[in-house]
Chain A
Amino acid sequence: MKTRIQSLLMLACGFALGFSGQTNAAKTTKIVIDGSTTVGPIAKAFAGYAMEKNPDVNITVSESGSGNGAKALINGACDIADMSRFMKPNEFEAAVAKGVLPVAHVVAIDGIAIIVHPSNPMAAITLDQIRDIYMGKATNWKQVSGPDKQIVVIGRDTSSGTYETFESLVMRGEKVVSGAENVGSNGQMRQRVQTTDGAIGYVGLGFIDRSVKPLKVDGIAPDMGEVATGRYPIARPLYMFTNGYPKLGTPLHAFVTLYLTPKGQEIIESIGFVPVTRY
């Protein structure tokens, strides 16, 4: 009996040693990313590229919303917070109080496209008309020189960064009508608009595909060129926040500067956002 226990103990020790030896040899760096569902695709594509280039880096990307990303960074639960809006003053205060110094990296620019069902004959709309529709002043498409059809107004829930950008760039302090439907993500928005005849909605530029129809806003089409030059009226920068500027040469530093490289630019363009640099 005793000998058996001894041998078991030795075996366990052996395992423990073996495992610790393994982890020591690998020296894996872990990068945890959390935050906006809009920035999430960029972070995921960057993570795929970074892990392929450097197998010792292990990157996990979650998408729980800009606010949750900020919270996670403040609480030390992540290394990078993806955010589709800038950090709010109270978030900064909370961060500084916890000894976290947020540094913003603008990784790309995102245009918010106004989308309608493909069967809708409208091709252009003005910012004022969009505001009227979301305020509930215009309830039929013919009020904004469209067909005679009831407008189904679809917005994003107040916890999304896309909502906040829309609110500040389009609504400008006016309230969204209480009868507006709310959805939880860009993908769900596209799904709702592509299946609803009278619908109007808004998504990030990267989520436009053939199933929905983007409208020109104030005469300018939501495409990469117009957003990059700043002519398209509903556009915003996308951020990654780190705690202080990362130590030069670390995998984290390489990751948050990836957007400056031609490869990073290519990745950002391939998922439908507009790069900050033009090579």
Chain B
Amino acid sequence: MFGQANVLAAGQAAFPPTVEDFYLPSILPWGAHDSYWFTKITAMVWIAVGVLIIFFLATYRKPQLVPTKKQWLAESIYGFVRNNIAVDMIGHAGVRFAPYFTTLFCFVLLTNAFAIIPFFQISPNSHIAFPAILAIISYVLFNYIGIRHHGFVKYFKNSLIPPAPWYILPLLIPIELFSTFIVRPFSLAVRLFANMFAGHMLLLVFTLGGFAMLSANAWLAPVSVLSWVMTIALTFLEFLVICLQAYVFTVLTASYVQGALADEH
């Protein structure tokens, strides 16, 4: 990372940034470009998992009726997802999904947050593999729950055949099939991935752009400064996107589960 800063200061960084900037060399073996088992990205995923596990286990080791500050914090996170997402979207039956939704929300939020935390500064979710895993879990989850709740035939009947006149059904059924069973996992995964990818790319553009202009012509220094100020402003925007995307991912998963449980279309 300090090497990175030296590169930037020396004006050697390439501008504009490319997709290759998202694929950092591997840590173990050091510097390899075709090994993905232990990279900065996977390390961050493990750090996120470790931090969350340690945080929740430490704060909830000895729960008390009158909570301590840390316990209150952990309970607020769970309570937020439980009451404002699970129960709001699904109703009382949503409580049993609250643990998964909270885990999902915390994981996405923290891995997203790496995008603006100093020295991490890239989100694992800007690699589509991680959003894809979460989207597949959501997809399997809502279909499994729907089939278990309604039975196989009734679930697909409910999902595919909207209450509409028969002559419009030939048009609606393919649309429903496409939107519910094909597009959903892709839209979930791509929405999160694209947001984090674009956010990182924007920050790269403005940061590297500042250096590029500075090294091109010293008279452009004020514009470089403006570019870096924009980076700071965009970091705030990125913060908003981070929280919003974690929330949206969880809410959409809850909404799909709710749709699978619903009796009417």
Chains A and B form a bound pair:
no
Interfacial residues, chain A to chain B (CB-CB below 8 A):
none
